[in-house]
Chain A
């Protein structure tokens, strides 16, 4: 696959596969990231359609690094990545904007919940906050513009909608997303050996649960 190579710093190169969000492209980026094994490479950070590589410039030059990368033959696996189920309490005080999202789209709150929880979302990348997943594939019938005045504090675990995107706040943070529910699922587990349960390339499915089933309430 064709990509542009940038050398934006002495110790970084950035591979740019095109400024777009595309599943096939993203799968290739993740597959390429996974097959890079070189002692001079310090860190690999895949995104939607870019791959950032930090390297030790004392160990390898840009030219040799480019040659090494060009020779790699990533294999995109045809099987779907693992599916992670996220239990969500929709509406009420946990989803203060659920009724607005419903009204905005001319559907009922139940339909918003049903449309939001019936899709398997692909995790394209992580960023913004530790553990925050950029999910793709939301139904356009539940899209909603951001709040004009962002909230100063959105509680940890809030599930929201912004434009055509949906996501979960891994920690309390200010933000302008429309909140439709909340989950107790921890996206960032600093005390564990594997602090991040969700990786780029995985899939996420939201499961509606009642307030009674949510032990954390």
Chain B
């Protein structure tokens, strides 16, 4: 049954779940929620089965209309979510009862970049190669209607806090040495402590390019192509590091210096242009 109608898709909106497993050996990207923590928590709070699909919304400008009564939960970035019932502000991580005909608006970017709109039961869309996640060539468009599954457990657990998302856009990301760390002299790891990296305007679900003022060059520039995964930081010859993200290539030919800790990927998924990052080697 159609439950959600997309009125405005905003910059970019897509259906996402835990991603696609088993096909990366064929070059198929992992996909899945860029902020896995916010995604997981939304399902937990609504009592959905783990990995139930949600709408991932990038920045403000998204608007949808409900085609029936439903329970929803919004997690992730604070995008000034309002229910057009006297412009009532919606709190993140709370179960909200919406009624047929009501509209949900994402009005402004307060902090972070990506929010998740979960609905009780989870979004029903075609499962392709084991996942409902949209691929990088796909997106939600105005007028699209989304159905809902009816497999909620009805048991609400946990809470959500987006305290890891900073309004200032200043972050510390924990990293460990990558498989090609030996190509980078140790002095760079010392520089890494002080260096500030700025998120460039080249960032999307495939990867995040960072600008920085220090010079970091691998001893060897070209390596045999090998598998990469979300969180890997590639160092191309020109020195602008790229964080590989969920829709990124499955293999890469640039050295991987450091890798973002799994627990901090939720922060990477919230990075936007102009945010400043420091890396902490752990």
Please list the residues of chain A having a beta carbon within 8 angstroms of any beta carbon in chain B.
6-12, 14, 16, 19-21, 33, 42-52, 54, 125-132, 134, 170, 188, 190, 195-196, 199-200
Q: A131-B27, A200-B25 in contact; A8/B225 too (CB < 8 A)?
A: no
Docked pose: A200 CA to B23 CA in angstroms:
12
For the complex, what is the distance from the CA of A42 to the CA of B32, rounded to whole Å?
A: 15
Name A33's closest neighbour in chain B (CB-CB). B25
Q: Are the CB atoms of A19 and B224 closer together than 8 Å?
A: yes
Interface residues, chain B, with chain A CB atoms under 8 Å away: 21-29, 128-129, 176-179, 223-227, 229, 231-232, 249-251, 256, 259, 261-263
The 8 closest A-B pairs by CB, nearest first: A127-B251, A52-B227, A196-B26, A50-B226, A45-B227, A10-B262, A8-B259, A6-B179
Task: Establish whether residues A48 and B225, one from each chain, have CB atoms under 8 Å apart when the complex forms.
Answer: yes
Contacting residues, chain B, for A12 (C-beta < 8 A): 229
A125-B223 Cα distance, complex, nearest whole Å:
15
With contact pairs A8-B176, A44-B25 given, residues A127 and B225 touching in the complex (Cβ less than 8 Å): yes
Q: Which residues in A have their C-beta under 8 angstroms from that of B225?
A: 47-48, 125, 127, 134
Q: Is the CB of A195 within 8 A of B129?
A: yes
Contact B28 A130 (CB under 8 A): yes
Min CB distance B244 to A, Å, is 11
CA–CA, A54 to B220, complex, Å?
A: 27
CB within 8 Å: A-B pair count:
101
Residues of A within 8 A of B259 (CB): 8-9
Specify which chain A residues have a CB less than 8 angstroms from the CB of B28 in the assembled complex: 130, 195-196
* B38 → A minimal CB distance (Å): 18
Contact A20 B224 (CB under 8 A): yes
Q: Looking across the interface, which residue of chain B has its beta carbon closest to that of A171?
A: B137
Smallest CB–CB gap between B142 and chain A, Å? 25
**Bound-state Cα–Cα, A178 to B250, Å:** 24
A165 to chain B, nearest CB (A): 10
Contacts A8-B178, A52-B229; A128 near B251 (Cβ below 8 A):
yes
- In the assembled complex, the CB of A136 is this many whole angstroms from the nearest CB of chain B, namely 12
> With A127-B27, A130-B27 in contact, do A9 and B251 touch (Cβ < 8 Å)?
no
Contact, CB under 8 Å: B21 / A128: no
A8 interface neighbour in B232, B250, B251, Cβ under 8 Å: B232
Which residues in A have their C-beta under 8 angstroms from that of B26?
A: 126, 130-131, 188, 195-196, 199
Contacts of A21 in B (CB 8 A): 224
The complex places the Cα of A128 from the Cα of B227 at a distance, in Å, of 10
Once A45-B250, A50-B227, A127-B250 are accepted as A-B contacts, the answer to whether A9 and B261 lie under 8 Å apart by CB is: yes
Q: By the criterion CB–CB under 8 Å, are B227 and A14 in contact?
A: yes
Given the contacts A50-B226, A127-B251, A190-B128, A11 and B262 also touching, CB distance less than 8 Å: yes
A52 to B229, CA, bound (A): 9
Q: Which residues of B contact A130 (CB under 8 A)?
A: 23, 26-29
Most chain B beta-carbon contacts within 10 A, residue among A19, A33, A132, A170: A19
**Chain A residues, CB < 8 A from B251:** 47, 125, 127-128
Chain B residues within an 8 Å CB radius of A50? 179, 224, 226-227
- Other A-B contacts than A6-B179, A9-B259, A9-B262, 20 sampled, CB-CB below 8 A, are A8-B177, A9-B176, A19-B224, A20-B224, A33-B25, A45-B227, A46-B227, A47-B251, A49-B226, A50-B224, A54-B229, A129-B27, A129-B249, A130-B23, A130-B29, A134-B225, A170-B27, A190-B128, A196-B26, A199-B26
